[in-house]
Amino acid sequence: MDRFVFLTFDGLARGAVYAAFALALVLIWRAARIVNFAQGAMAVATAYVAHSVSVATGSYWIGFAAALAAGLVLGAVVDLTVMRFVSHTSPLNAVIVALGLVLVIQAVLGIVYGNEFLPAPAPFDRTAFTVGGLVLLAPYDLFVFASVGVVVLGLAWMFGRTPVGLRMRAAAFAPEVSRLLGVNVGGMLTLGWALAAGVGALAGMLVIPTEFGLHPHAMDLVFVSAFTAAVVGGLDSPPGAVIGGLVVGLLLSYVSGYVGGDVTPLAVLALLLVVLLTRPGGLFSGVAARHV
Amino acid sequence: MNAPAQVTAAPATTGAGRSTLLRHLGITLVAALLLVAATYGLEPFRNFQLATVAAYLCATAGLTVLTGLNGQLSLGHGALMATGAYTVALTQTRIADTGATSGWLLAVSLLTAVVVTVAVGAVIGLAAARLRGPYLAGLTLAVAVVVPAVAITFDEVLGGEQGLSVPVAPPPLALGPYFPYERWQAWLAGAVTLLTMLLLANLVRSRFGRSVRAVRDDEVAARLAGIHVARTQVLAFVVSAGCAGLGGGLLAVLAQSVSPGAFSLTLSLFLLMAIVIGGLGSLAGAVWGAVLLVALPDLTHSLTELFTLSPSVAQRWEGNLPLAIFGVTLIVVMIAAPGGIQGLLTRIGRALPGRRR
């Protein structure tokens, strides 16, 4: 029972990170109908920026801020220099270009920093404290919950309550009409990419200290988990992404706790397969009335 | 709807089919002769590279059928190659255990690899036929990422991180006692690949090949024309998986070992890059892609040797520069010249005087 409680809290902490990462995927999917397969690599790149800045300044938090800023900039740059020019004749095109980006980013990181694991310190203690004999969660997990919570609430507030959020939703939903009404559709798209990459950078900063360390491929498996989380939620729904993230986090935690850590990728694949075969639109989708 | 289409199409297929088959046989024969001639002219290392190109060509040609002609994006073909490679390793070990030494038994191993990969491909293909674009890419990506986990989970059979060694019989004595091993490898891989290419080229020209392209271009129209879309997609996946398994099996034979590290996610991405840069629409593009896969790391190696770099820095560049070049080329090709190398050549060919149609 103790173990179950611990694994549940651990799973929720992991899941919060997947939720943030899935949220970034959903942001771009809603804005541009693109699944950004380069998101993991982009997040790793910002984590390397944080590493350099932290080493130069001696402060973890300046590095943290630099990572978020780098994420925003990187997202905008990727949209303005690459994604904007991809033809939309086939949905494959954007995926293939994103994969090209993955190779470029990972190669550049490998050239600049080398392909060895670099240490990635956590800003708070990662040993879990116990309450009444129950091992609960670590201070670092609280930091994860708080950061992801702030982002989720911030995005919800932005899309629900601010004029910019309304314009972004309009630009994604009906680009032509929005353009006629004076919305800068291209600008909204760039903003969407920047925001998504910023959220991705945060997720990367939160998850990499819990893995083996900083490495050009550090986010490969995290990306697959987050993609699964987004698919569980349906790719289209931000609340779905959050719930999907928590589901995937719990699943991974139970599997690695009760079966073994090496099996977790297989568990992710199994979950993805089951969800895609039974409810391809995600757990929260309505059933399409008619399919041609 | 179905019957009249068959009536009108049937005479055309038999008429064109016969000459196509002859032409393909002719091309294969010429290619085989060129290959044998080349293996005598090249030094051993180049022969080994030639054999590697052949092995990759099986996989890229299969992926071309799936992604280029059927429009299904797979990021999991590295995993399918791994399936073939591990099958060959296990079968070859069993064969060696029985004490049999005939080189022909390698054919049994390769066929087993194809059968096993076809079975795996059928499972993924059944799921794939229900999925679209990014969903399929995500699922196959997960398949690609899972390879090391499978090798470690079943490490008693698959050897974990270490992998397995692949016992391979030496060249037959009939070729003489001093026959270079690399030339034998090039012949072996070349023969298997030429046969595969011949089969694929005819398949692409057949009724099935037309259905495959029709499904890519417009699923609804294909369905209205009486094509069973899901069945066509699953079949395309199965054919493509079989080719990938064969390619992986050949790679295992060439390297005489298999390990999860050789079949990483990067390999799957590389295969996709190769066929995109080669040219998505045709098997000729797959040939360019396979050549690129082998030539590019070699070229960047020579390039880094031009500069005097410290060993550790040189190592970083050498490992990562091909990746960067592949990535940049891919993005540029995708945006500026979606036809790839083969598309460019076709355009140049059409622009030449006298070739204008």
Q: With a CB-CB cutoff of 8 Å, which residues 96-115 of chain A face chain B?
A: 96-97, 99-108, 110-111, 114-115
Residue to substitute from A103, A223, A277, interface B, most B β-carbons within 10 A = A103
What was the pLDDT predicted at B1?
Answer: 34
Assess contact for A208 and A214: CB atoms under 8 A. yes
What was the pLDDT predicted at B18?
Answer: 63
Q: Do B135 and A266 touch (CB under 8 A)?
A: no
What was the pLDDT predicted at A292?
Answer: 45
B138 touches chain A (CB under 8 A): yes
Which residues in chain A have Cβ-Cβ distances shorter than 8 Å to B135? Answer: 231, 276, 280
* E strands, chain B, in order: 164-165, 257-258
Which residues in chain A have Cβ-Cβ distances shorter than 8 Å to B73? Answer: 92, 95-96
User: Which range, of A188-192, B176-180, B201-205, averages the lowest pLDDT?
Assistant: B176-180
Q: A134 — phi, psi (to 5°)?
A: -95, 125
A82 touches chain B (CB under 8 A): yes
B314 touches chain A (CB under 8 A): no
pLDDT band at B52 (very low <50, low <70, confident <90, very high): very high
A292 touches chain B (CB under 8 A): yes
- What 3-state DSSP class applies to A130? strand
pLDDT band at A226 (very low <50, low <70, confident <90, very high): very high
Tens of pLDDT, residue by residue over B199-231, are 999 998 999 999 999 988 888 899 998 899 989
Q: Do B265 and A220 touch (CB under 8 A)?
A: yes
Give one word for B256, left, alpha or beta, with left for phi > 0 and alpha for psi -120 to 50.
left
Assess contact for A79 and A193: CB atoms under 8 A. yes
What was the pLDDT predicted at A101?
Answer: 94
Residue to substitute from A271, A276, A277, A291, interface B, most B β-carbons within 10 A = A276
Closest CA to A38 of A89, A90, A86: A86
B150 touches chain A (CB under 8 A): yes
B26 touches chain A (CB under 8 A): no
Q: Do B316 and A111 touch (CB under 8 A)?
A: yes
Tens of pLDDT, residue by residue over B82-116, are 999 999 999 999 888 887 777 778 899 999 999 99
pLDDT value at B41 more than 70: yes
Cα separation of A291 and A275, whole Å? Answer: 19
- What 3-state DSSP class applies to B309? coil
Per the structure block, which two tokens stand in for B325?
Answer: 């070049």
Mean local confidence (pLDDT), B137-142: 90
What was the pLDDT predicted at A286?
Answer: 55
Per the structure block, which two tokens stand in for B117?
Answer: 């990969």
CA A233 to chain B, closest CA, distance in angstroms equals 13
Instruction: Report which residue type is found at B199.
Output: L
Query: How many interface pairs between A and B have CB atoms less than 8 angstroms apart?
Result: 149
Assess contact for B120 and B53: CB atoms under 8 A. no
A177 touches chain B (CB under 8 A): no
Could you tell me the end-to-end alpha-carbon distance of chain A, in angstroms, rounded to an integer? 50
Cα separation of B244 and B124, whole Å? Answer: 14
More confident residue, B98 or A63: A63
Q: Do B137 and A108 touch (CB under 8 A)?
A: no
Which residues in chain B have Cβ-Cβ distances shorter than 8 Å to A34? Answer: 134
- What 3-state DSSP class applies to B332? helix
Cα separation of A230 and A282, whole Å? Answer: 8
What was the pLDDT predicted at A290?
Answer: 52
Q: What is the mean pLDDT of chain B?
A: 85
A180 touches chain B (CB under 8 A): no
pLDDT band at B14 (very low <50, low <70, confident <90, very high): very low
pLDDT band at B290 (very low <50, low <70, confident <90, very high): very high
Cα separation of B294 and B303, whole Å? Answer: 15
Q: Do B73 and A96 touch (CB under 8 A)?
A: yes
User: Which of A200-214, A272-286, B163-177 holds the top average pLDDT?
Assistant: A200-214
Measured in whole angstroms, the distance separating CA A172 from the mean position of its chain's CA atoms is: 20
What was the pLDDT predicted at B5?
Answer: 38
Assess contact for B276 and B332: CB atoms under 8 A. no
Per the structure block, which two tokens stand in for A131?
Answer: 């309450």
Which residues in chain A have Cβ-Cβ distances shorter than 8 Å to B272? Answer: 96, 99
What was the pLDDT predicted at B198?
Answer: 92
Q: Do A82 and B335 touch (CB under 8 A)?
A: yes
pLDDT value at A106 more than 90: yes
More confident residue, B233 or B21: B233
Q: With a CB-CB cutoff of 8 Å, which residues 220-249 of chain B face chain A?
A: 220, 223
pLDDT value at B4 more than 50: no
Cα separation of A44 and A205, whole Å? Answer: 8
pLDDT band at A288 (very low <50, low <70, confident <90, very high): low
Q: Above pLDDT 70, what percent of chain A?
A: 97
